[in-house]
């Protein structure tokens, strides 16, 4: 099985975030991707490949050009204006009609315009890491188009909280949406194709960014299983009331166990089957694990293997898995490997 990795991710290493009413060490650390990468190095059935570089059009078909320009230039502009060199953390947020006021000129204004929370930080190396995270997803998608059945992209930073023109939840470019659009278009951003693509988001947190993007695209279905936003980040989206033909949310209560989760998972797979997807992109978050500090489900390590076994037998589709969350470093790599093992064994 091919797994894609890019070492540039280590350039994104913010010192801190503001979370749970306190300043804390940044939870989405480079160690996360390194642990996953290292766990795959000696696996004789895994071929680790470096990400290729792609044209910028693949990003601008999913994100606004103004937002992409912001990500690329924000840090230098911030520092040039005399603000703190350790990184960009917004101090206020544009809501409602405040988002209609463009252009925004000041670096602090732009941070509040393009970022949705204070647990996401832009540092000197963020853009380099972020664009390579997007390339990591695109390289995986390219392998799928060339006929591979199962590919894993060790994307970091993650992507599913990044919307059409906003960053948040540790995410900047929406890797899953970029890959899904690439697959839908057969790899050519200038000639929209018609291959139906489903995105299945299994991260504990609702993929608000993916939902925002999918509403703007044809032939892409998003199905998301996540913690109920009544009590879980991102709090304002992920409810059943938002469901459309393009977007189906399964918000689940705290403490859900393997058996109940598997029932919902089976429903989600039925929806993807009915949609007629040709490719499946999975946003894999293992912060659904019972010991993850950012989730409150009670899922065991065994469930990840059961989920992918079920996917393989029920759908029989080519699958690109992109990495999202998962923050318990003791179990992160083993839970990811548990999910990947049925794919590795079937490849
Ligand atoms: Zn998450």
CA of 146 to the centre of ligand 1 (A): 30
CB atoms within 10 A of CB 203: 29
Report the pLDDT value the prediction gives residue 98, as an integer from 0 to 100: 86
Virtual torsion, Cα 187, 192, 193, 194, nearest 10 deg? 140
Provide the percentage of residues in the chain whose pLDDT is more than 90.
92
CA of 325 to the centre of ligand 1 (A): 4
User: In the annotation, is 231 catalytic?
Assistant: no
Tell me which residue of 169, 166, 157, 181 sits closest to 113, measured CA to CA.
166
Provide the percentage of residues in the chain whose pLDDT is more than 70.
100
d(CA 325, CA 305): 17
pLDDT in tens, 261-311: 999 999 999 999 999 999 999 999 999 999 999 999 999 999 999 999 999
Q: Which two tokens stand for residue 338?
A: 């548990």
**Taking the CA of residue 19 as centre, how many other CA atoms within 13 Å lie in the half-sphere pointing to its CB?**
18
**Structural domains of the chain, ranges and CATH numbers in brackets:** 2-63+127-346 (3.40.800.20)
pLDDT in tens, 308-335: 999 999 999 999 999 999 999 999 999 9
| Residues surrounding ion ligand 1 at CB below 5 Å | 203-205, 285, 287, 325
CA of 107 to the centre of ligand 1 (A): 28
Query: Residue 20's pLDDT band (boundaries 50, 70, 90)?
Result: confident
Backbone angles phi, psi at 126, to 5 degrees: -60, -50
pLDDT in tens, 51-104: 999 999 999 999 999 999 999 999 999 999 999 999 999 988 998 888 887 788
Query: Residue 347's pLDDT band (boundaries 50, 70, 90)?
Result: confident
Question: pTM score > 0.95 for this model?
Answer: yes
Report the pLDDT value the prediction gives residue 225, as an integer from 0 to 100: 98
Between strands 47-50 and 2-5, the pairing is parallel
pLDDT in tens, 212-254: 999 999 999 999 999 999 999 999 999 999 999 999 999 999 9
Cβ within 8 Å of residue 259, ≥6 positions away: none
């Amino acid at each position: 099985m091919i797994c894609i990795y890019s070492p540039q991710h280590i350039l994104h290493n913010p010192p801190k975030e503001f979370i749970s009413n306190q300043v804390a060490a940044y939870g989405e650390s480079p160690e996360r991707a390194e642990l996953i990468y290292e766990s795959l190095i000696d696996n004789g059935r895994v071929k680790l490949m470096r990400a290729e570089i792609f044209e910028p059009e693949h990003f601008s078909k999913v994100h606004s050009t103004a937002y992409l320009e912001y990500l690329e230039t924000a840090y230098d502009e911030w520092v040039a204006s005399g603000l703190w060199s350790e990184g960009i953390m917004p101090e206020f947020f544009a809501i409602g009609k405040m988002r209609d006021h463009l252009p925004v000129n000041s670096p602090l204004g732009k941070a509040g315009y393009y970022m949705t929370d204070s647990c996401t930080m832009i540092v000197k190396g963020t853009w380099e890491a972020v664009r390579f995270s997007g390339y990591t997803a695109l390289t995986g998608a390219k392998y799928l188009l060339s006929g591979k059945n199962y590919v894993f992209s060790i994307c970091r930073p993650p992507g599913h909280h990044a919307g059409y023109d906003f960053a948040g939840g540790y995410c900047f470019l929406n890797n899953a949406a970029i890959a899904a659009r690439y697959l839908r278009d057969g790899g050519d951003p200038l000639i929209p194709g018609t291959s139906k693509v489903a995105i299945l988001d299994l991260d504990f947190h609702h993929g608000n960014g993916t939902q925002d993007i999918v509403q703007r695209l044809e032939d892409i279905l998003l199905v998301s299983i996540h913690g109920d936003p009544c009590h879980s980040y991102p709090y304002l989206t992920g409810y059943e009331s938002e469901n459309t033909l393009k977007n189906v949310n399964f918000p689940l209560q705290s403490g859900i166990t393997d058996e109940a989760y598997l029932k919902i998972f089976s429903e989600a797979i039925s929806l993807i089957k009915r949609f007629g997807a040709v490719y499946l992109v999975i946003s894999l978050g293992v912060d659904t694990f019972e010991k993850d500090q950012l989730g409150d489900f009670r899922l065991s390590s065994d469930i990840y293997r059961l989920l992918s076994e079920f996917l393989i037998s029920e759908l029989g589709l080519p699958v690109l898995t992109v990495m999202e969350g998962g923050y318990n470093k003791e179990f992160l790599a083993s839970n990811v490997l548990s999910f990947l093992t049925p794919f590795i064994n079937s490849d």
